[in-house]
Structure 1
Amino acid sequence: MKPSALCMGLQPARRVLAFATAAAVSLSAAGCAGLKDQYAASADAQQRKAAEAAADTKAGASVDTQATYLRLVEQMQKEDLWFASLAHIDALEQRWSVSPESSRARAEALRQTGQAAAAETAYKRLMGTPLESAGYRGLGLLAGARGNYAEAVQLLSQAQRRTPTDALLLSDLGYAQLRAGQIDQARLPLMQALQLRPDSTQAQANLALYLEVTNQRDQATALMDANRMSETTRMAVREAAQQLRAPGGLAAPIVAAAPASTRGEPIVAPLALKPSRWTGAGSTRTAIQTNPPASNAEAPFSPNSIPRGTP
């Protein structure tokens, strides 16, 4: 093949590997002399550069709409890149201005990075917007983090009235009610949460906590067995229930065993008022039918009370 043909063959590569333009120009200026050797030497480096630039490419030239950029930010937050997401939210709002969606993303990132006051301000910006429920939920989570569970219940109830089928919100509400001493009221949202999202480890753990607190230990064990909860999770649920049953336990912070991803260190945090990463939950979908215990007595248990869901 003639050198000129080789040079023409570089054109598609230049379009795909835009970041390698300088190298391609130098090859052209040299008349493609020694092209094969130079290309072989630089191919690996170019691939490494492409991988390193992938994130910047997604967040840069290829992100040409506000919706696309918001999806990128949401994905970063799903991966717990909260600090990095704040930088991208700044860039997004500089380019497309502030929106309810960007305000919600900012509020979540601020809360997750320990900036409670700024997060509260951001959540309040959502009032009167289509994302008002997210604003109330965030404010409720902040109240729970301060240990003010009565206020958390009020705010989470406001959120639940606006989005009544949000399973994780229902789980948060039920947990806040447990901590506020509203044990009977907690049963309904916790049962709803599990039946709406039977694969949610957060919903499973919080219902197990309710069952333990109300002395329905057989049902709690059945729920944890059916969902293959790890021993660490079981211990966290039982210790939390023990603390809630203790005098003054409702006002005291619950020390939950940390998942493996936090290097096994204990954390002081609610079971649900913070993203939960319970480990060891299997794929079995389970819904337990429970009744409020009479006189705080242990309710009878039947294997038939655990209808299996579809995988």
Structure 2
Amino acid sequence: MNLKVQALPVALAVAMLAACAPMPQREVVIAGQSSRPAPTPNAAVVTPTQEAVIRAEQADKQSELKQRDRQLDAQREKDLHLKLVQQMMEQNNAFAALAHLDAYDQKWGASRQSRLLRADAYRKTSQWDKAESAYQTLLGNSTSAQSGPVWYGLGKVSIEKGDLKSANTRLEKAVQIDPLNVSAYTDLGLVYLLEGLKDPAYNALMKASQLSGGDTTVKANLALWALVFDEFGLAKDMADQLNWSEVTRNKVLAQANVIKKRIDSKGGAR
């Protein structure tokens, strides 16, 4: 008997093959547990206590910055005020400078710089005793390195009082401490000149001239020195450089003659 095998429908064959295929592995979940790894705790998480500490530190830092800014602003204001006083002094407004120094001291309290400016202002307003006292106080409260301008101021007071011996000592001290002080060399040269000290006067005035790069006031003093000691070639050279008129030349010559008489009355030049 011949058996005939009938072909299975395609859909049925596919279903049978699918049934025979291996089953995919499924994730096994046990009640109350998970097979997935637990998340790692985030180390960057900040607790409320830590946040409070951070905020407090930031507030302290801001407070410090504001305090520093206030201090810098105050220092700038103080510096500008003293700069204004210095400009007044340079413009021969020493009385106004004294008024501003009073205002400065009331607001900020006196500083070493304001005290030195006050002493200079007393000197420039012919208040010699007050200037002397102010300089002496500064001298007692200063180191040797700080005392150069003070000795110079004292030397100027001595000149104004006509005490050339004291002026000599004080100005020599000033240039010893501050060897680049052009004004001190200039005044010291004139003191030497009035005392008839030819070479010391020339040396001091030449230092002032070369340090200042040929300042006109120093050149005028060199011309005066040359006329006093009959160095007429140098006197003419200085007068030509300064473009002096005939009137100016005659005035300087008259000053030189007065100094010559003074020297002669003391026994001549040394």
TM category (shorter chain) comes to: 0.5 to 0.7
Aligned-pair RMSD on alpha carbons? 2.3
- Cα gap change, 1:196/1:231 in structure 2, threshold over 3 Å: closer, same or farther? farther
- Cα gap change, 1:124/1:236 in structure 2, threshold over 3 Å: closer, same or farther? farther
Q: What per-residue deviation string (whole Å, max 9, x for no partner) do you get for residues 58-110 of structure 1?
A: xxx99962111110111111111111110000111122212221111111111
CA distance in 2, matches of 1:131, 1:230: 42
Provide TM-score, normalisation by structure 2.
Answer: 0.65
The one-letter code of the counterpart of 1:157 is: E
Find the residue that maps to 1:169 and give its secondary structure.
helix
CA distance in 2, matches of 1:139, 1:114: 13
The structure having more radius of gyration, on CA atoms, is 2
- Cα gap change, 1:232/1:141 in structure 2, threshold over 3 Å: closer, same or farther? farther
Alpha-carbon shift at residue 201 of structure 1 (Å): 2.3
Find the residue that maps to 2:138 and give its secondary structure.
coil
The one-letter code of the counterpart of 1:82 is: A
Query: Which runs of structure 2 are paired with 1:250-265 in the superposition (5 Å)?
Result: none
Partner of residue 239, structure 2? 224
Alpha-carbon shift at residue 198 of structure 1 (Å): 3.3
CA distance in 2, matches of 1:208, 1:239: 12
| Structure 1: runs of 5 or more not aligned | 1-60, 252-295, 297-311
Query: Which runs of structure 2 are paired with 1:132-151 in the superposition (5 Å)?
Result: 132-151=147-166
- Cα gap change, 1:180/1:65 in structure 2, threshold over 3 Å: closer, same or farther? same
Q: Provide the identity percentage.
A: 33
Whether the aligned pair in 2 keeps the contact of 1:168 and 1:202 (CA below 8 Å) is no
Which structure carries more helix by proportion?
Answer: 2
Alpha-carbon shift at residue 177 of structure 1 (Å): 0.8
Partner of residue 98, structure 1? 110
CA distance in 1, matches of 2:246, 2:199: 27
- Cα gap change, 1:232/1:168 in structure 2, threshold over 3 Å: closer, same or farther? farther
Partner of residue 185, structure 1? 200
Partner of residue 89, structure 2? 77
| Structure 2: runs of 5 or more not aligned | 1-72
Q: What per-residue deviation string (whole Å, max 9, x for no partner) do you get for residues 1-22 of structure 1?
A: xxxxxxxxxxxxxxxxxxxxxx
Whether the aligned pair in 1 keeps the contact of 2:194 and 2:263 (CA below 8 Å) is no
- Cα gap change, 1:155/1:97 in structure 2, threshold over 3 Å: closer, same or farther? same
Partner of residue 302, structure 1? none
Provide TM-score, normalisation by structure 1.
Answer: 0.57
Query: Which runs of structure 2 are paired with 1:102-121 in the superposition (5 Å)?
Result: 102-121=114-133
